[in-house]
Amino acid sequence: MSSIKHNSLSCDIAIVGGGIAGLWLLNRLVSSGYNAILFEQNALGSDQTIASQGMIHGGIKYTLSGALTGASEAIADMPAHWQACMEGNGNVNLKGATTLSNHFYMWSSNRVLSKMTTFLASKATRGRITKVRKNERPEIFQHNEFKGSLYKLVDMVLDVPSVVKALADNCRDRIFKIDWNRTQWHHYSDKQSNNDVALDFLYDGQDYRLNAGQFVLTAGQGNEAILQELGVESTKMQRRPLQQVMVKHHYPHRFYGHCLGAETTPRLTISSHPCDDTSQVWYLGGSLAEKGAELSSDEVIAGAKKELKELMPWIDLSKAQWATLPVDRAEPRQLNFARPDKAFASTIKECPNVIVAWPTKLTLCPNLADEVIKILEKQKITASSDSVPDLHFLSTPPLALTPWQTAFGD
């Protein structure tokens, strides 16, 4: 891309990364009048977004030590925020998305929950969690072999692909597929540019240069490679690897819940997801997935079978299909590899017109958009009335397939 003359393009904000975080931010910016666009290199929602279990929780799962943490308090209002958006009354329109469940459960042996009884009944959790009476238990826990206690969390579980589609449909003409083999970052070296960057494209023998008031990186683990290419040392990323387990079966029960163990992370998290052939997949996370990150697929599946046999011995999964999904949760680097409490967004010292952002949790995508907008307002980047830049040479990225579509061919 050594051409002296470029076809010049411009916009207020260019987002790089088409997961829910980037798509949510795009919706917020467009509704606020910004001339914003989004780039995705593969498929919308690919990688970390589509690997999510879709649980929009209010932080109770982070109280397993018997106290409210920074993480739990940061997201306490998130279910209500998402619910308003699902109803078309929030700052992002999600009316086209599907809710899989309006609540999920916590269960365990009486011995484990007895240690938390006072806390679970305290004012701090009032309205956020209730104990389920025996006759009100979901069918899967009506079996006589279940001897534990069950609590209902007034949180929600969303069908992630439908959320991605709804967000994309709202701004379809502003979403473009980027090919990094034909795109590169341009660093301005003159003093007037304040070390800003632009994006250069080479298509059909033509050079194009896109200038943006701000570039926002929401590419998850893809942020790391971009930061390296930009020569950024001031902001680093960490990975928290998982290996989720998928169980495809024709069992009639759909279930969403956390099994509590002795650790602060749920021993096992189950979410149910519909398949195209009327069967469903149980998607297993929690401590099982964290501990399985370094194991082989066969070892993780063996561990999942053992856990389900111990926790739900009355469930027959002998004819089920099993598969695993390794996935890295991308986060801003923390001291001692700590788990971040909140969404992260920050300008980059080396490139002042670049913001790097990680929501750290699906639940916090709305919070991430708030943080980015605060930075834009602080930098006095205002909305323009310009039209969408002419990026006709770029195609539109598809929606990502779910992990079970890929694993089981649904």
Domain with residue 247: its CATH number is 3.30.9.10
In a domain, residue 90? The reply is no
Q: How far is CA 386 from the centre of its chain?
A: 31
In a domain, residue 68? The reply is no
Q: Can you give the pLDDT at residue 63?
A: 53
Q: Can you give the pLDDT at residue 1?
A: 47
Q: Can you give the pLDDT at residue 260?
A: 83
In a domain, residue 80? The reply is no
pTM of the model: 0.92
Clarify whether residues 243 and 324 are in a common domain: yes
Clarify whether residues 175 and 257 are in a common domain: no
Clarify whether residues 217 and 173 are in a common domain: yes
Clarify whether residues 213 and 262 are in a common domain: no
Query: Among 117, 205, 104, which residue's Cα sits nearest to residue 158?
Result: 104
Q: Can you give the pLDDT at residue 181?
A: 96
Regions of the chain short of the pLDDT cut 70 = 1-4, 59-74, 109-128, 190-195, 264, 410
Total number of residues shown for the chain: 410
Clarify whether residues 175 and 268 are in a common domain: no
Q: Can you give the pLDDT at residue 385?
A: 78
Q: Positive or negative, the Cα torsion across 207, 212, 217, 219?
A: negative
In a domain, residue 195? The reply is yes
Q: Can you give the pLDDT at residue 337?
A: 72
Q: How many Å apart are CA 201 and CA 83, to the nearest integer?
A: 40
Q: Can you give the pLDDT at residue 2?
A: 46
Q: Can you give the pLDDT at residue 182?
A: 97
Q: How many Å apart are CA 17 and CA 178, to the nearest integer?
A: 10
Q: Can you give the pLDDT at residue 278?
A: 83
Clarify whether residues 132 and 186 are in a common domain: no
Pairing of strands 237-249, 206-217: unpaired
Clarify whether residues 152 and 249 are in a common domain: yes
Q: Using an 8 Å Cβ cutoff, are 253 and 104 in contact?
A: no
pLDDT tens by residue, 108-136: 865 665 555 555 555 445 556 788 999 99
Clarify whether residues 245 and 133 are in a common domain: yes
Clarify whether residues 136 and 255 are in a common domain: yes
pLDDT tens by residue, 66-77: 544 555 556 778
Clarify whether residues 130 and 200 are in a common domain: no
User: What is the span of the domain harbouring residue 226?
Assistant: 7-48+164-236+334-408
Q: Can you give the pLDDT at residue 269?
A: 94
How many domains, the chain?
2
Interhelix angle 365-378/78-86, nearest 10 degrees:
90
In a domain, residue 199? The reply is yes
Chosen domain end from 297, 330, 363: 330
Q: Using an 8 Å Cβ cutoff, are 68 and 126 in contact?
A: no
Q: Which residue has the tokens 């929780």?
A: 57
Clarify whether residues 217 and 287 are in a common domain: no
In a domain, residue 84? The reply is no
Chosen domain end from 308, 330, 352: 330
In a domain, residue 378? The reply is yes
Chosen domain end from 289, 312, 330: 330
Q: Using an 8 Å Cβ cutoff, are 351 and 197 in contact?
A: yes
Q: Can you give the pLDDT at residue 46?
A: 95
Q: How many Å apart are CA 368 and CA 361, to the nearest integer?
A: 10
In a domain, residue 88? The reply is no
Clarify whether residues 169 and 219 are in a common domain: yes
Q: Can you give the pLDDT at residue 61?
A: 55
Residue 369: which CATH number? Answer: 3.50.50.60
Q: Can you give the pLDDT at residue 123?
A: 45
